Structure 1
Amino acid sequence: MKKTALLLPRGETMGSAVVGPYAIFARVNEFMASQGQPPAFEVELVGCEPAPSFEEGAFRVSPHRQLAEAAGYDLAIIPGFTGEVAAMLSANRPLIAWLKEQRETHGTELASLCSGAFFIAAAGLLDGKKCTTHWAYADEFRTRFPRANLMPERIVTDDRGIYASGGAYSSLNLVLYLLEKFSGKAAAVWAAKVFQIDPGRRSQKPFVIFSNQGAHQDEAIARVQEHIERHYREGLTVTGLAGRFAFSRRNFLRRFKEATGNTPIEYLQRVRIEAAKRNLETSFGGIGEALSAAGYSDVKTFRRLFKKYTGFSPMEYRNRYRV
């Protein structure tokens, strides 16, 4: 049986990231008992304050124990939050220290749900390790923790006893993953059916809304980004952009990558594909219209890049997400 701590951080914690896993583990234990097997998980709610509340005070939870008296777990699960990152990290310094101590002293395995990855990373435990988080937090995560191997397209990562999930309700896919790993596939399949979770989801790509990646201090690169976003339908090139903004090609490539996490060409592609997505979501036109909206002229190239960034063909995407 896996002794498990489901942590309750201070601040604006996602209630669904607490209630969902807790309910699934409880029901799976019932299922295991019905099969004549011992419970799979012994779950304790571990609070960072006496009476944590969620969703702006709409729900309150009674922890089984407080953080100061909690230790020796096989697995600790850290839910995501909706608050401002700096404030959440500051308010949860004791939790971050606790994670580090449990990992290094007891070998506790750690699992983050959604933005919960920030807490593990702040403890220095994701340096050189694969991880994921909600796609909307990816830029800030990279900026704060450049040594982590962030893979924001993934819904689940597993690297040497540290697990992470993508955003919001996709964190339930990590719960299924942990069930299969520690309890067997039958328990995971049963939970997937009862809670109606698609176990086949592997990527966050279809859900990403590309932002302008402006969380940096390089004003010159910010001007390049603004130019790309206004003129993406034109025949922009790396050489042309470097010359227009008085960079050497090499310096331009280096600074753009450092500031945005993308090469200039990747950034241009993502801006164009986002334009195509908006067209497919709101228009009844065919692929030619989306192609034009994105500034492409070659259908084969457009299809390949659209699939790369969304995980779907253009028509599959339209059928799923057209408003």
Structure 2
Amino acid sequence: MANSFLIEQGGEPKFKVELIAASDERRISNGIFTVSPDKMISDVIQTDLIIIPAIHGDYRQVVKNNADFVPWILEQYKRGAEVASLCIGAFLLASTGLLNGKRCTTHWMASEEFQEMFPQVELLNEKIITDENGIYTSGGAYSSLNLNLYLIEKLAGRKIAILQSKVFEIDIDRTSQSPFMIFSGQKSHNDEGVLKAQEYIEGNYQDKITIEMLCNRLAIGRRTFERRFKKATGNTVVEYAQRVKMEVAKKQFEGGMPNVNEVMFQVGYSDSKAFREVFKKFAGMSPVDYRNKYRELKQTSPNVRVSLQ
């Protein structure tokens, strides 16, 4: 579509898009449609941009199944190609090693597994887009549309990108996945002491819980406990407690609770400024904006008679 707009404005098309596969075998995707590649990786000596789509299924197995792409991607990158991943396509991109020591994003639901598989990558799962000097990643699901716009703006100009955003009705300035994230606690680890601490925090979110209190309950030294907690969950104890409280607050707002101060007190805050700052940090917007955007509207339905003929 960007090419079409460029031509309509008297310019030349910027993009030649090809679907590249590791083999010429036709694939059926979820029994819905057949994927037929334009070329094999062996046919492509040099390209400008590689876009890795989202993957599906067991991440480790899918990365293993697509291992033939890795040396080709690395060779193209050495020859000057840029590389982008959409959503959980970041798993395949990370398997190349190109993201080591760099920042990336992916779907927030896959963040724990991503961090476990690729600890040498700095995951910013609240971001919509990351750009590491020609290596791009996008957040979950339709966040890939924002990366598409970003690439179009970079390669074809701001004017075309804005036009695309209007035609496809995409918010071009969206930068955060935070409003969509659901915190369920990082419990895919085997540290029993940390699990007990997590359960205590979640069961007593309305109280003020100190690190010393948790250490005394578990009979663990502070330095050891903090190190183990961070390693197991990816959060400090304070961050974890804050995220638990903010997730409860979000659920209250979504359920129709209109009074921000009441919600604030329920999750253990007495300082409205501190509550707003922490809420915005994890939700990407103020408590009032979140309430207005996501609350369940209570409406009474009038009696309606319907006659079908």
What is the Cα deviation at residue 297 of structure 1?
A: 2.4
Q: Distance in 1 between matches of 2:257 and 2:250?
A: 12
Following superposition of structure 1 onto structure 2, how do residues 83-162 of structure 1 map, counting pairs within 5 Å? 83-104=57-78, 106-162=79-135
Post-superposition Cα deviations, 1:111-167, rounded to whole Å, max 9, x if no partner, equal 000011111111111011121111111122112111112111110110121001111
The alignment covers a number of residue pairs equal to 295
Post-superposition Cα deviations, 1:214-241, rounded to whole Å, max 9, x if no partner, equal 1222222122111111111122101111
Matching residue of 2:53: 79
The one-letter code sitting in structure 2 at the alignment partner of 1:58 is I
SS in 1 for 2:227: helix
The one-letter code sitting in structure 1 at the alignment partner of 2:13 is P
Post-superposition Cα deviations, 1:22-64, rounded to whole Å, max 9, x if no partner, equal xxxxx1111111112111111101124422333x121222211
Higher helix share: 1
What is the Cα deviation at residue 307 of structure 1?
A: 1.0
C-alpha contact 2:56 2:62 (8 A) present in aligned 1:
no
- Which residue of 42, 51, 55 corresponds with 2:26? 51
Q: Distance in 2 between matches of 1:267 and 1:48?
A: 42
Post-superposition Cα deviations, 1:176-221, rounded to whole Å, max 9, x if no partner, equal 0000111111111111111111101011111110121112222221
User: Are 1:221 and 2:157 counterparts?
Assistant: no
The one-letter code sitting in structure 2 at the alignment partner of 1:44 is E
The one-letter code sitting in structure 1 at the alignment partner of 2:14 is A
C-alpha contact 2:258 2:291 (8 A) present in aligned 1:
no
Q: Distance in 1 between matches of 2:16 and 2:124?
A: 30
- Which residue of 230, 233, 240 corresponds with 2:213? 240
User: Are 1:203 and 2:176 counterparts?
Assistant: yes
Matching residue of 1:61: 35
The one-letter code sitting in structure 2 at the alignment partner of 1:249 is R
SS in 2 for 1:53: strand
Matching residue of 2:250: 277
Stretch moving more, 170-179 or 227-236? 227-236
The one-letter code sitting in structure 2 at the alignment partner of 1:72 is Q
- Which residue of 280, 303, 306 corresponds with 1:307? 280
CA 1:123–1:231 in structure 2 vs 1: closer, same or farther (change >3 Å)?
same
SS in 2 for 1:297: coil
Following superposition of structure 1 onto structure 2, how do residues 249-268 of structure 1 map, counting pairs within 5 Å? 249-268=222-241
What is the Cα deviation at residue 315 of structure 1?
A: 1.4
Following superposition of structure 1 onto structure 2, how do residues 172-187 of structure 1 map, counting pairs within 5 Å? 172-187=145-160
C-alpha contact 2:3 2:15 (8 A) present in aligned 1:
yes
Q: Distance in 1 between matches of 2:283 and 2:184?
A: 14
C-alpha contact 2:205 2:241 (8 A) present in aligned 1:
yes
The one-letter code sitting in structure 2 at the alignment partner of 1:308 is K
Aligned-residue sequence identity (percent) comes to 47
C-alpha contact 2:207 2:267 (8 A) present in aligned 1:
no
Q: Report the structure number with the largest CA radius of gyration.
A: 2
Q: Distance in 2 between matches of 1:318 and 1:212?
A: 22
What is the Cα deviation at residue 308 of structure 1?
A: 1.1
Cα RMSD (Å): 1.4
Q: Distance in 2 between matches of 1:243 and 1:264?
A: 14
Q: Distance in 2 between matches of 1:97 and 1:233?
A: 52
Structure-1-length-normalised TM-score: 0.88
Matching residue of 1:191: 164
Stretch moving more, 88-97 or 232-241? 88-97
User: Are 1:165 and 2:138 counterparts?
Assistant: yes
Q: Distance in 2 between matches of 1:179 and 1:137?
A: 27
Matching residue of 2:260: 287
C-alpha contact 2:211 2:222 (8 A) present in aligned 1:
yes
What is the Cα deviation at residue 266 of structure 1?
A: 0.2
Post-superposition Cα deviations, 1:265-286, rounded to whole Å, max 9, x if no partner, equal 0000000000000000002331
Gapped runs of 5+ residues in structure 2? Answer: 297-309
Q: Distance in 2 between matches of 1:284 and 1:254?
A: 37
SS in 2 for 1:216: coil
C-alpha contact 1:275 1:293 (8 A) present in aligned 2:
no
